[in-house]
Amino acid sequence: MRRLWNIEEFPFHPEKILHHETIFSIGNGYLSTRASFEEDYAGQTPATLIHGVYNHVPGALVPELVNAPNWLPITIRIDGTLFHLNAKTTDYLYPPRGALLGYRRTLHIDEGLLRREVLFRAKTGSVVRLVFERFASLSDQHVLAQRVQLFAVDGNPEIVIESSLDGTVTNAGNQHWGDFQVTAKGSIISIGAKTQQSGYRLGMASKLIAPGKHKAKVKGLQPTVMTAFTLKQQETITVDKFTTVFTSRDTHEPLTAAQKKADQAAKKGYDALLSAHRNEWAKYWRDSDIQIMGDDNAQLSLRFAMYHILIAAPRHDQQVSIGAKTLSGLGYKGHVFWDTELFILPPLTLTQPHLARNLLMYRYNKLLGARHKAQANGYEGAMFPWESTDTGEETTPQWSDVQPDGSRIRIWTGDSEQHISTDIAFAVLQYWRWTGDDEFLRSYGAEIFLDTAVFWGSRVEAKNGRYEISQQIGPDEYHENIDNSVFTNRMVVWHLQRALEMVDWLKAHAPNDHQRLVTALKLTPERLNHWRDIIAKMYIPFDHEKQIHIQFPGFFDMEYIPVPLYEPRTASVQAILGHKRSIQTQVIKQADVVMLMALLGDELGASREVILNNWNTYYPRTDHGSSLSPSMHTWVAARLGLSETAYELFQHAAEIDLKDNKGNVRDGIHGAACGGLIQAVLFGMCGLHIDADGKLKTAPHLPEHWQQVSFHVYYRGRRRAFRVKNPVKVSPSA
């Protein structure tokens, strides 16, 4: 059904403009563009973000992903009336500024196409139907295409079109570009520019194909090409704009490359480009679509989540990765967190392993930064930064932006949220287990896995006759600089156990790589024995009487706040209680012990009783202040057979971006919520797992009204089809 592939805005919702700008973004793994309009509209925040192009402006705390020139502007005058959305339908009779008679915007997620249909009446009474389309080509990542079709419903209007590129856009006031070269010749306009500190050069060019005599001009940083023609009643005229983008990350001459490519793209034509783009999308969906029978909303939200992962995943670049807000907004400045490895990457590992590999290669290629961080902190091995960019160095800001009271808050995550090194290792192992890509493991993955293990070996503290890890932030970021986060300590044990097995595997199956790594990482027998000792003696906070894991010692001494009492609410409980108070309570930001249970599953070695006790303890204390939380809870609730709760949490996760229930989607898509949602369905509700014999199995706990979930995954190079149904309930005999 078509509508299960479409996200729609109907009619126009000016109050949701920034939310919609984000969710209707288009992209192709090289760049993404927010869904700002072709014409000017007050308050919109156009942004095109290109993977890997970061810059640090003087005075800013950290580098940020740079907003590229806006390639969208197409200004249209109909009989002299400027086409724009400020026109009100109530102006219908006497339209001083024209009248907006109809509006529908649709994101076709099956083919990465954004389409807008508008009915507009000019001051003269002429009525024109305008259909706008745009896509970022998936078959040629440097090509962006736009089409406007104008149909004269009433009158024979004079149409004037101006197509521009706009180099004046900034990152919320930060202008990163300099050295502009702005040109307009014939029907080709272009902008060349260079980031001021990092020195990345950009070339963007655009060619307009439209009737009428074209005139080009340059006004400041906005090259424009203009044309005019008459539209006869009941006639349709098509205007196409082809824009191309290159940076010095792709070629030495990005501007020349862009200009050449714009010409080539125009010669190919919109229809041919669109058809190649559609074919490419069809290939991706063939493997990545998950079909749910019995729940249309769930179906659409799952496709939406996969769409946003697919448009953000780099196709041909192993030096970049997906930021927490994908490429769809300026939030978190385009920085890469653990969100990528533990949330976004697994759906790719299962359905598009080559894309997952690209993302893991980013970490491999940034090992130097991780080694610097370890060294700078007095440790060995590789300690990955909490926030990462193009350099691989730690880029977490140390201070927040100025708060309403003028103060700044110290941000500790870059110092203390050290579990990211194990999260990355976890993703490496998961990728290897699923794909069987031994070549990746031997040549790259093992080095990541083992050098992060080396880091932990040097990081743990021998104390009180056991090993401890102090000054940590676990996934629950409300509690900072705590000692012995159970998540971190237990994950480190897992990491070192698997590291020892990996060393054995390398020795048996890849002796040369084994030798290379033993030498390079100094994997001496003493070091391996030290790992064994840590595994045996690591402190895992556990309450034997209550049979629960303890998030960290001292957690239960703090004030207990029953989070459900605050429902319904739109803000986090932390925001309600205030930062100072909430950090002294048991309110948890996001899945922490629950996350541990999701990730390790049976490898945690906990009984069902402990899992259930943990759930009953931590779920009511969690306020889901992070978008990373509901999906992990869905996963665990489903596995526990708590189907109703799992479904409620699933909906919460599914609505984060689509309904903007956190109120911050304007800053970009919550990439981790998207990836988490897919994992919640596959690993949680369908119970997909690799069993002890290496066989793929499901253990369904679907919501009652879901009849079936079908999907494909790649397992060890083979494409496997699954159809998961609710287990047949046997009714008691009469």
Q: Distance from CA of residue 123 to its chain's centroid?
A: 43
- Intra-chain end-to-end CA distance of the chain, in Å: 41
Among 79, 380, 477, 657, binds ligand IFM (CB under 6 A): 477
Nearer to ligand IFM (CB atom), residue 332 or residue 647: 332
Nearest-approach distance from CB 434 to ligand IFM, in angstroms: 23
Query: Residues 5, 200, 337, 431: which binds ligand IFM (CB under 6 A)?
Result: 337
Nearer to ligand IFM, 208 or 411 (CB): 411
- 519: Cβ–Cβ under 8 A, 6 or more apart, which residues? none
Fill in the per-residue mask, 526 to 565: x = in contact with ligand IFM (CB under 6 A), - = not in contact. ----------------------------------------
Packed helices 486-509 and 446-459: angle between N→C axes, nearest 10 degrees: 130
> What residues are paired with 244 via a beta bridge?
143, 205
The site that binds ligand IFM (CB under 6 A) totals a number of residues, namely 10
In this complex, which beta carbon is closest to ligand IFM, that of residue 169 or of residue 593? 593
Region binding ligand IFM by CB under 6 A among candidate stretches 333-341, 437-445, 533-541, 714-722: 333-341
As measured in angstroms, the least distance from the Cβ of 673 to ligand IFM is 9
666: which 2 tokens?
Answer: 């304007």
**Are the C-beta atoms of 169 and 28 separated by less than 8 Å?**
no
Cα-Cα-Cα-Cα dihedral sign, residues 232, 233, 236, 238: positive
The span from the CA of 266 to the CA of 144, in Å, is 11
Q: Are 81 and 124 in contact (CB under 8 A)?
A: yes
Q: Rounded to 5 degrees, what are φ and ψ at 713?
A: -135, 155
* For ligand IFM, the closer CB: 303 or 419: 419
Of the candidate spans 186-194, 336-344, 395-403, 605-613, the one that interacts with ligand IFM by CB under 6 A turns out to be: 336-344
- What is the distance of C-alpha 719 from the center of its chain? 25
Residue 138 contacts residue 277 (beta carbons within 8 Å): yes
Cross-strand partners of 243: 144, 206
Residue 485 binds ligand IFM, judged by CB under 6 A: no
Q: Nearest approach, Cβ of 337 to ligand IFM (angstroms)? A: 4
- CA-derived radius of gyration, the chain: 27
Please say which residue, 166 or 477, places its beta carbon nearer to ligand IFM: 477
Work out how close the CB of 478 gets to ligand IFM at its nearest, in angstroms, rounded to a whole number. 10
Closest CA to 244 of 282, 195, 192, 186: 192
| Smaller CB separation from ligand IFM, 369 or 475 | 475
Looking up tokens 């339908």 gives 89
| Of 3-11, 98-106, 195-203, 335-343: span binding ligand IFM (CB under 6 A) | 335-343
Give, in order, the Cα–Cα distances in Å from 523 to each of 454, 498, 520: 8, 14, 8
**Among 298, 672, 674, 681, which residue interacts with ligand IFM (rule: CB under 6 A)?**
672
Query: Is 503 an interacting residue with respect to ligand IFM (CB under 6 A)?
Result: no
Is residue 390 involved in binding ligand IFM (CB under 6 A)?
A: no
Q: Is 632 in the site for ligand IFM (CB under 6 A)?
A: no
Cβ proximity to ligand IFM: between 239 and 628 the closer is: 628
Stretch that binds ligand IFM, among 192-200, 277-285, 334-342, 363-371 (CB under 6 A): 334-342
C-alpha dihedral (585, 586, 591, 594), degrees to nearest 10:
170
Sequence length of the chain is 734
Residue closer to ligand IFM by CB (options 487, 714) is 487
- 446 binds ligand IFM, rule: CB under 6 A: no
- Shortest Å distance, C-beta 626 to ligand IFM: 4
Q: Taking Cα atoms as reference points, which of 506, 486, 509, 498 lies closest to residue 531?
A: 498
Strands 48-55 and 64-67: antiparallel
The smaller minimum CB distance to ligand IFM, of residues 310 and 591, is found at 591
628/680 with CB nearer ligand IFM: 628
**Contact call for residue 384 and ligand IFM (CB under 6 A):** no
Does 595 contact ligand IFM by CB under 6 A?
A: no
Distance CA 290, CA 353 (A): 16
Residues 287-326 vs ligand IFM: string with x where CB under 6 A?
Answer: -------------------------------------x--
Among 35, 628, 649, 654, binds ligand IFM (CB under 6 A): 628
- Rounded to the nearest whole angstrom, what is the least distance from the CB of residue 78 to ligand IFM in the complex? 44
How far apart CA 689 and CA 721 sit, in angstroms, is 14
Active-site annotation, residues: 477
CB 645 to ligand IFM: min, Å: 22
The yes or no reply on residue 415 touching ligand IFM (CB under 6 A) is no
Query: What minimum distance in Å lies between the beta carbon of 477 and ligand IFM?
Result: 6
Contact status: 345 vs ligand IFM (CB under 6 A) = no
Measured from the CB of residue 370, what is the shortest distance to ligand IFM in angstroms?
17
Residue 626 interacts with ligand IFM (CB under 6 A)?
Answer: yes
Q: Tokens in use for 516? A: 């290379």
Considering only 290-298, 308-316, 332-340, 530-538, which stretch makes contact with ligand IFM by CB under 6 A?
332-340
With binding defined as CB under 6 A, does residue 587 bind ligand IFM?
no
Q: Could you tell me which residues come within 8 angstroms of residue 453 by beta carbon, excluding any fewer than 6 positions away?
A: 381, 425, 495, 496, 499, 531
- Given candidates 39, 295, 339, 623, which one binds ligand IFM under the rule CB under 6 A? 339
Q: 449-466: buried (b, 16+ CB within 10 Å) or exposed (e) per residue?
A: bbbbbbbbbebbeeeeee
Q: Which stretch binds ligand IFM (CB under 6 A): 75-83, 92-100, 116-124, 337-345?
A: 337-345
**210 vs 587, which CB is nearer to ligand IFM?**
587
Please, what is the minimum distance in Å from the beta carbon of residue 589 to ligand IFM?
Answer: 7
The nearer residue to ligand IFM, 79 or 387, going by C-beta atoms, is 387
Is 145 in a helix, a strand, or coil? strand
Q: Minimal distance in Å, beta carbon 416 to ligand IFM?
A: 13
Binding status of residue 338 toward ligand IFM by CB under 6 A: yes
Looking at the DSSP assignment, which residues form a beta bridge with residue 712? Answer: 721
Contacts of 450 (CB under 8 A, 6+ apart): 499, 502, 503, 517, 521, 523
Q: Is 453 in the site for ligand IFM (CB under 6 A)?
A: no
Q: Provide the sign of the torsion angle of the four alpha carbons 672, 677, 682, 684, taken in this order.
A: positive
Under DSSP, the state recorded for 329 is: S
Both tokens assigned to 283: 């290939």
Cβ–Cβ < 8 Å for 219, 22:
no
Contact status, residue 320 vs residue 281, Cβ threshold 8 Å: no
Cis peptide before 568 (omega within 30 of 0): yes
Position 137 contacts ligand IFM (CB under 6 A): no
Nearest Cα to Cα of residue 482 among 407, 422, 403, 419:
419
Q: Which stretch binds ligand IFM (CB under 6 A): 160-168, 201-209, 256-264, 330-338?
A: 330-338
Structure tokens that stand for 114 in this block: 């954004």
Give the footprint of ligand IFM on this chain (CB under 6 A).
324, 332, 337-339, 475, 477, 626, 628, 672
